[in-house]
Amino acid sequence: MKAHIITIGDEILIGQTLNTNAAFIGEKLTNSQIQVSASSVVPDDEEIILKEFKRTLDSNDVVIVTGGLGPTHDDVTRKCVVDFFQTELVENEEVLSDIKKFFESRARILTETNRSQALVPKIAVPIRNRRGTAPGYWIEQKGKIFVCMPGVPHEMKNMMETFVIPKLSGMLERKSHISISNLLSTGIPESNLFDRLGNIDELLQGAKMAFLPSQFGVKIRITVECATEEEANNKLVEIEQKIRAKVGRYIYGKNDDTLEGVIAKLLIDRGLKIAVAESCTGGLINNRLTNVSGSSKFLERGIVAYSNAAKVELLHVDEDTIQKYGAVSMEVARQLAEGVKAISGSDIGLSVTGIMGPTGGTETKPVGLVYIGICDATICTAYEYHFGDDRLLNKDRTSQAALEMLRKNLLGISYED
């Protein structure tokens, strides 16, 4: 199958909203061995939308559309679907029931505007919306498949995972099997990772590899195609093992793993508690840790000590140390980690202090300078990092580096590169 993704919305076209929907759909289709031929973004304009429907459906087996199914005047996708397929709208009892239940669960009154969302194209199979009110549409005509879903990401994702992908997968005639795995690395630049892997052709033996860098690390995507699923999976495991043998210390997980999720499991399995003292990241590390369900089992407390006074009063950092070395220093980072561990009674104290930018830097302490401290029963130390000059990226990079230091601590991996 060959598929095209259409995202509808002025807000996406002008850059007001990131097009995360296309990325999610593209990944799900690829993992299901459906080739994504292209992706396009069009405005909330009926004429342009209709032209895009025709252009893409003519040259693809599947067209997947998101956006413009809401109840307001600027949501024109449903009308375009009706016009394009020359059908009519009919009220669907199951969809109406879903909408009523949705409003009842939120103690809201169902309006006629929202009731109108139960009107679906007559030729379509409705895709039930378990997260909102607007249903999706599945239309098969002349050997083509047309799928239309809401643009709200969590609504669309649920439809893709529970309806669209299972249905498409059941229609595929596979002549071979493709297995895909993503190894997640952090703490090493893309170029260094590439160099350490050595001869890529020898490593892959016909498989494909891609490096996907971000501020959190480098994702290594491996794609293997073989005659059977068993052969593909075996070859994938073999390649993964070879990669881990060369750069395993930088790999913290795979596929949908998160660094905070991996750390949470390590802490829980070991029965350890952690406390975090944050200055420059303003609570981001604690936010990431508490994204993990059950975080109360391993996170004792988090303290945002942004000012010098807070560092002294809450975490017992020595005032003379701040005066002598500055708040952004290895000495202060060490005392922050030691202080938060001591006052919380936790097994591990973790700390960060730095200059996020774009202002605040000096010749000796430039923007992007960060110190991360860690303290446990045997060591109390800190390390220096240099990131860029983008404030928000620096916060992400600092939180990632701190969590990676914690992971290494738990696994007994040296902090040194």
Amino acid identity for residue 73 in this structure: H
Q: State the distance between the two ends of the chain, measured CA to CA, in whole angstroms.
A: 45
CB of 149 closer than 8 Å to CB of 69: yes
Task: Look at residues 294, 296, 257 and name the one whose alpha carbon lies nearest to residue 403.
Answer: 257
Task: Look at residues 61, 3, 53 and name the one whose alpha carbon lies nearest to residue 27.
Answer: 3
Task: Look at residues 256, 300, 293, 247 and name the one whose alpha carbon lies nearest to residue 274.
Answer: 300
E-strand stretches of 9-86: 35-42, 62-66
- DSSP symbols for 96-155: HHHHHHHHHHTT-PPPHHHHGGGEEETTPEEE--SSSS--EEEEEETTEEEEEE-SSHHH
Q: Which residue has the tokens 């809201």?
A: 108
Q: Which residue has the tokens 């701040």?
A: 322
Query: In the structure encoding, which two tokens stand for residue 324, read together?
Result: 């002598």
Distance CA 417, CA 404 (A): 12
- For the chain, percent helix, then strand, then coil, each to nearest 5? 45, 25, 30
The secondary structure element, H or E, covering residue 211 is strand 208-214
pLDDT value, residue 95: 95
pLDDT value, residue 45: 96
Distance of CA 328 to the CA centre of its chain: 30
pLDDT value, residue 417: 64
Angle at 406 between CA 404 and CA 409, to 5 degrees: 110
pLDDT value, residue 303: 98
pLDDT value, residue 172: 86
Distance of CA 67 to the CA centre of its chain: 20
pLDDT in tens, the chain (417 residues): 999 999 999 999 999 999 999 999 999 999 899 999 999 999 999 999 999 999 999 999 999 999 999 888 888 999 999 999 999 999 999 999 999 999 999 999 999 998 999 999 999 999 999 999 999 999 999 999 999 999 999 999 999 999 999 999 999 877 788 899 999 999 999 999 999 999 999 999 999 999 999 999 999 999 999 999 899 999 999 999 999 999 999 999 999 999 999 999 999 999 999 999 999 999 999 999 999 999 999 999 999 999 999 999 999 999 999 999 999 999 999 999 999 999 999 999 999 999 999 999 999 999 999 999 999 999 999 999 999 999 999 999 999 999 999 999 999 998 776
Distance CA 225, CA 416 (A): 37
Order of strands across the sheet with 380-386? 299-304, 274-278, 348-354, 369-375, 380-386
Distance CA 265, CA 304 (A): 24
Q: How many CB atoms lie within 10 A of CB 257?
A: 15
CB of 361 closer than 8 Å to CB of 355: yes
Amino acid identity for residue 111 in this structure: T
CB of 327 closer than 8 Å to CB of 353: yes
- Partners of residue 181 on adjacent β-strands: 222
Strands 369-375 and 299-304, sheet pairing:
unpaired
CB of 126 closer than 8 Å to CB of 135: yes
Burial class from Cβ neighbours inside 10 Å (0-12, 13-18, 19+) for residue 356 reads: buried
Amino acid identity for residue 239 in this structure: I
Beta-carbon-side half-sphere exposure of residue 33 (alpha carbons within 13 Å): 17
The secondary structure element, H or E, covering residue 13 is helix 10-13
pLDDT value, residue 67: 96
Distance CA 220, CA 367 (A): 30
What domains are there in the chain, each with its CATH number? 2-171 (3.40.980.10), 177-254 (3.30.70.2860), 259-411 (3.90.950.20)
